[in-house]
Structure 1
Amino acid sequence: MKKVLIVDDEEDMLWMLQRNLDNGIPNIETFTAQSGNEALNILNETAVSLVITDINMPGMSGLELLTEVSTKWKDTKVIIMTAYPSNAFANKAKKDGAVQFVEKPFDINEMREIVENVLEEGGSGQTNGGIALLDIIQFNGLAKSTSALKITAGGKEGMIFFKEGKVIHAMFGNDTGETAFFNIIETEGAELQSVNGVDPPLVSMGKSVESLMLEAAVMKDEAKSKTASGVNALAFSEKEFELPPAGDINAPAAEKLDDITTNSGELETTEENDMTEIQKILAEFTNIDGVHTACLVGRDGFLLDSLARTGIDAEMIGAIASSGFGSAEAMGTQLGQGELNMTMLEYAEGPVMFAPVGEDAFLVIVADKDTNLGWIRIAIKKNSAKIEKVAF
């Protein structure tokens, strides 16, 4: 009998998962916890084969729980649930690894299949003596966490500081900044600890985990091409970080902008710093597989900003969409349905979605057929207030 611990602060999610796993998978016993601390109490008393945990929970987060599991229960595998659309991380989470990654909303049959595969594999399937250090670092980026990670290895201590998912400072031994970060990801057999309430002594960097990993991969390739010059290649396996193929749903937003233009009609560069603040937020939409256009339009029909596939006239979209958006609002008022939150028009080639942004503007999202509409709704809910704050 294998034991599975489900951790989520939402009672409905706990009930749904426990009921479907208990009834659908033989020879397992499920436990539930509504917090990371409650989960630790169960882990201290029971030998658990698998932990299924949400990332975002009050108090101890799923990432902190993951860090504790990686240090104290090295034979326990973990499935991370999150509502964040993934970047390179889903590409990283291989079926033979210690950590699996599942995006919400998920199909319960697919979740059951993942759980069965994990439990049937046998062995730990772990890297570096447990859950990989890179898994922990990358999931901190994915969760856009503001936290600190303490690393102890080889007689050295180090820290990585995250702010909203970006690495703002690192130190390891006598090194700081990017040098320290790259030295940390070379480290094997590290002991990890999540640390709360600790501010970095300085801000030495401000890069996403994805960009730092890309730099590490480039440095490794360059080092391989050098002759014996005393330059050592980064000592981590290529399998530990695989860049997603071009156009992959999980490619970083900057990579997907190769095929996206701004409202000026000029090809957007891949440098995040060249984008406006609004475009950086709109990239959250165009990074969803199938979404090719995201526009912020004033209620007067004038385009305020956009990211659009080459060849699409974003200004024309703004002018046309204003009448459709106004009609949808008027319909809701006449029917007594209250304020408009979101509306969608479904066409043969894909949907067009509208959502108000404050009192002065609205979003227009244009997508291809079979696009995951749930992710678009999550992105709208997550980013509307951000856009309003930046734009007005």
Structure 2
Amino acid sequence: MKNILIVDDETTFLLSLKEGLISLEGDYNVLTSSNGKEAVEVMEKTKIDLLLTDIKMPVMDGFALLAHVVSKRLHIPTIVMTAFGTSEIEERLNNLGSFHFLEKPLDFKVLANKIQDMFKEGATGYIEGVSLASFLQLVEMDRKTCTLRVKSNKKIGKLYFKGGTLVHADTGTLTGDKAACEIMCWADPEIEVSGVCNIKKHSINSSLKSILLNSCRLEDEEKGSDIEKMKQRIVVNSSEEADSELDLDIIELEDIVTDNPMNTQQKEEKKMSVDDKLKEFASIEGFVGVGVFTPSGESLCSLTGDKAKNLKDIGILANSVLVNAQKASLEMGTGRGQLVHIEAEYANIIVRCLNEGTDPLRSQPGKAHIHLMLILNSDAALGLAKMKIGKIIGSLADEFRV
């Protein structure tokens, strides 16, 4: 039985919503709370499968409740009910990915369909809880004035918002944009929300979205640096049975990305699986090379034809183009970009992103996040190539899920 928790201070609305959801086809147990404090008490006693919450409530509002969900890493699928009222803000909220948004007054049929769809998606692992990035953007869009005290291990920082604008950040050693960026990079943050902002100093010079994107970039660079330090632990294998025209290198990453290293047989099976999948690209007319990369540009595996040169170097540059395009598409409010096609004088370079997580730019545990780059000559069959990319990149997810 799925436990749905509805949080709203309007008693009549709460009861009618509960009755409606109970009447739906589905094994649902509907719990209710009139504010965030009551909701926290319910979540401490009961495993909640779906959270449906209002934003403006007495005692403990929706922001404080969502901060609790982030801090405790509950990973509860969430629907936020609010009256933002514009299609532009609705689209921006939906693009955040970590939670769903419905505008009040609710259309019950829309809500029912949303809940049923979320449980279907949850069965395949695509629904995540509220992330810190999404929470901060919700504060911005609600034009909330507040102070957020963020704690991670022994580090403590504060983010100050006035009317939804981030105006100041402080970690004790840093202030302004640098402090905000560092706080947003902290792992497993705990958040406390105060409904006041008693700060007169304005030290933030960039938009919240720019700071969030910069924090993602810094975190990815740090991950890339950590991998460089552990290169001596990486085993590089060459396929002796590969076609004479193909040069295939597979970098084994299990020893640094999992607590349970694969045995020799499992590694060989995985290597063969990746080999076979990448070799499908070699049948495309005009094939030059193909590679799989991490979001930070680290090469995971590659397959090259006899005319390919510096595939990994090209891959790093093309990977950077895709990441920058994704950042730009987020800045434009169009959602995260999935593919870039570089049409050059002598070659076509196509880079496609596969991200099972909810964060557009950051890898998440248990979720595959890879970039596949395909290089073809200038007169290649591009339509077939893009179709094959769409097919094969999905099948590679199991090989690179960490």
- The TM-score, its normalising length taken from structure 1, stands at 0.51
Give the Cα–Cα distance (whole angstroms) in 2 for the partners of residues 136 and 216 of structure 1: 15
After TM superposition, the structure 1 = structure 2 runs for residues 335-374 of structure 1, keeping only pairs within 5 Å, are: none
Identity of aligned residues (%): 26
Give the Cα–Cα distance (whole angstroms) in 2 for the partners of residues 106 and 240 of structure 1: 33
Matched residue, 1:148 = 147
Matched residue, 1:177 = 176
Give the Cα–Cα distance (whole angstroms) in 2 for the partners of residues 237 and 71 of structure 1: 30
How many residues matched? 236
Deviation at 1:55, TM superposition (A): 0.9
SS in 2 for 1:112: helix
87, 93, 98: which is aligned to 2:96?
A: 93
Matched residue, 2:119 = 119
Give the Cα–Cα distance (whole angstroms) in 2 for the partners of residues 139 and 58 of structure 1: 18
Give the Cα–Cα distance (whole angstroms) in 1 for the partners of residues 16 and 207 of structure 2: 34
Give the Cα–Cα distance (whole angstroms) in 2 for the partners of residues 50 and 244 of structure 1: 30
SS in 2 for 1:243: helix
SS in 1 for 2:52: strand
Amino acid at match of 2:38: E
Contact preservation (8 Å) 1:53, 1:80: yes
Cα root mean square deviation, aligned = 4.0
Q: Could you give the per-residue CA deviations for residues 163-201 of structure 1, whole angstroms, max 9, x where no partner exists? A: 111111111351111111122223332222223456237
Deviation at 1:8, TM superposition (A): 1.0
Say yes or no: does 1:83 pair with 2:83: yes
Contact preservation (8 Å) 1:52, 1:78: yes
Amino acid at match of 1:89: R
Matched residue, 2:164 = 165
Contact preservation (8 Å) 1:89, 1:139: no
Contact preservation (8 Å) 1:91, 1:244: no
Q: Could you give the per-residue CA deviations for residues 98-127 of structure 1, whole angstroms, max 9, x where no partner exists? A: x22222234222211211122231487577
Contact preservation (8 Å) 1:93, 1:101: no
Matched residue, 2:131 = 132
Contact preservation (8 Å) 2:142, 2:164: yes
For structure 1, the 5+ residue unaligned runs are: 228-232, 251-392
Say yes or no: does 1:186 pair with 2:185: yes
SS in 2 for 1:6: strand
Matched residue, 2:292 = none
Matched residue, 1:30 = 30
Amino acid at match of 2:52: I
- The TM-score, its normalising length taken from structure 2, stands at 0.50
Amino acid at match of 1:36: G
Contact preservation (8 Å) 1:25, 1:116: no
Q: In structure 2, do the counterparts of structure 1 residues 239 and 11 end up closer, same or farther at CA, with 3 Å as the change threshold?
A: farther
Q: Could you give the per-residue CA deviations for residues 315-361 of structure 1, whole angstroms, max 9, x where no partner exists? A: xxxxxxxxxxxxxxxxxxxxxxxxxxxxxxxxxxxxxxxxxxxxxxx
Give the Cα–Cα distance (whole angstroms) in 1 for the partners of residues 207 and 105 of structure 2: 25
Give the Cα–Cα distance (whole angstroms) in 2 for the partners of residues 240 and 213 of structure 1: 10
SS in 1 for 2:58: coil
Q: In structure 2, do the counterparts of structure 1 residues 87 and 24 end up closer, same or farther at CA, with 3 Å as the change threshold?
A: closer
Give the Cα–Cα distance (whole angstroms) in 1 for the partners of residues 80 and 325 of structure 2: 23
SS in 2 for 1:58: coil
Matched residue, 2:19 = 19
Amino acid at match of 1:29: N
Contact preservation (8 Å) 1:169, 1:203: yes
Q: In structure 2, do the counterparts of structure 1 residues 90 and 117 end up closer, same or farther at CA, with 3 Å as the change threshold?
A: same
Amino acid at match of 1:117: D
Contact preservation (8 Å) 2:156, 2:171: yes
Q: In structure 2, do the counterparts of structure 1 residues 101 and 59 end up closer, same or farther at CA, with 3 Å as the change threshold?
A: same
Amino acid at match of 2:158: M
Amino acid at match of 1:48: I
Contact preservation (8 Å) 2:50, 2:76: yes
Q: Could you give the per-residue CA deviations for residues 38-64 of structure 1, whole angstroms, max 9, x where no partner exists? A: 222222222211110011112311011
Deviation at 1:28, TM superposition (A): 0.5
Deviation at 1:141, TM superposition (A): 0.8
Give the Cα–Cα distance (whole angstroms) in 1 for the partners of residues 62 and 16 of structure 2: 19
